[in-house]
A and B are shown apart, each in its own frame.
Chain A
Amino acid sequence: MAETNTRPLSPHLTIWRWGPGMTVSILHRITGGALSVAGLAVLTWWLVALADGPEAYANFVGLAQHPVGLVVLVGLTWAFFQHLFSGVRHLVMDSGAGFELNTNKRYAVLTIIASVLLTAALWAYLLGVLK
């Protein structure tokens, strides 16, 4: 692998002007990691609490309704929607479409708008119902 060390490096993070495509790209990875670790932990914990009976479930709900629990759940909800929409964008791009500069930028921005709006709408509804 010695020969690879002498190859010129392509200009990377240092020279590109930051744009929506780059933001959504790294958000996809970050939200994917968060969902893999915290999201699946919460899903599993929720099922285990439910299986353990009403007391364990009440304990879970109590933690979920604590301000810190709510921040985690709202964050995971946003991560879910962001990963979902940027994932759909990736599927479209896998087909070879959506690489024109303006189209690419527009869909990148739309994934963020959609994820924030849906998170807000879902939690406005949930907090209204659970109250």
Chain B
Amino acid sequence: MSLGESASALGKVRGLGSAGHGGEHWLTERVTSIALLLLGTWLVASLVMLPSLDAGTVVEWLRHPSGAVPMALLVVTSFKHALDGMKVVVDDYVHDEGNRFATNTALLFLAVGGGALALFALGKIAFGASA
């Protein structure tokens, strides 16, 4: 696509960047990073404050909404943030358009699959009949 002299300054910039688009992606990466600042701090603080890290204690913690809900948010947000971050790296280093599409698609499948597996495991723990 060629942009003639008639294009505005914004029109010339919009749609550029190594991926061909990116404003929303850039902002999403920042918003998930703020969420992960909270959720990551929560995870470290929780692991430190648990009386023990044996299976019974951790399962009991994750069966309670105060453990299960932030953990579910952490899983979803961290996989999304990881995917967004890895896409930036791929867009920077994989120059061929076909390879870039293939790599980004593989990463998308891995992130969605990994996140689904982690959520299933968490659900099994949280809704499990016994520890």
Within 8 A of A (CB), among B1-41: 30, 33-34, 37, 40
Can you report 5 A-B residue pairs in the complex whose CB atoms are below 8 A from each other?
A: A33-B86, A36-B82, A80-B40, A122-B48, A126-B47
Question: Are A44 and B30 CB-contacts (below 8 A) given A35-B82, A36-B85, A50-B58?
Answer: no
Question: How big is the B interface, by class?
Answer: 20 to 34
Q: Which of A50, A58, A87, A91 contacts B59 (CB 8 A)?
A: A50
Among A35, A80, A125, contact of B48 (Cβ-Cβ < 8 Å): A125
Q: Is A57 part of the contact surface with B, judged by Cβ < 8 Å? A: yes
Note all chain A residues with C-beta closer than 8 A to B48. 122, 125-126
Q: Is A54 an interface residue (CB 8 A)?
A: yes
A70 within 8 A of B: no
Residues of B within 8 A of A41 (CB): 114
Residue of B nearest to A30 (CB): B89
The docked-state distance in angstroms from the alpha carbon of A29 to that of B93 is 12
Q: Does B129 contact A (CB under 8 A)?
A: no
**A47 interface residue (CB < 8 Å to B):** yes
Are the C-beta atoms of B79 and A40 separated by less than 8 Å?
A: yes
Q: Does A88 contact B (CB under 8 A)?
A: yes
CA distance A47 to B48 in the complex (A): 17
Q: How many residues of A contact B (CB 8 A)?
A: 31
- The one of B33, B58, B83 in contact with A91, judged by C-beta atoms closer than 8 angstroms, is B33
Q: Are A57 and B55 in contact (CB under 8 A)?
A: yes
Of A41, A44, A90, A94, which is in contact with the most chain B CB atoms at under 10 Å from its CB?
A: A44
Q: B104 contacts the other chain (Cβ, under 8 Å)? A: no
Interface 0/1 of B46-69, CB less than 8 Å to A? 011000110100110010000000
In the bound complex, do residue B30 and residue A91 qualify as a contact, i.e. CB atoms below 8 Å apart?
Answer: yes
Contact (A47, B118) CB under 8 Å given A35-B82, A40-B79: yes
Which of A29, A54, A90 lies in contact with B55, CB distance below 8 A?
A: A54
Once A48-B117, A130-B53 are accepted as A-B contacts, the answer to whether A84 and B40 lie under 8 Å apart by CB is: yes
Given known contacts A33-B86, A40-B82, A130-B53, A87 and B117 CB-to-CB distance under 8 angstroms: no
Cα distance, A131 to B66, chains bound together (Å): 27
Q: Which residues of B contact A53 (CB under 8 A)?
A: 55
Complex interface: chain B residues within 8 A of A2 (CB): none
CA distance A39 to B48 in the complex (A): 18
**A51 lies within 8 A of chain B by Cβ:** yes
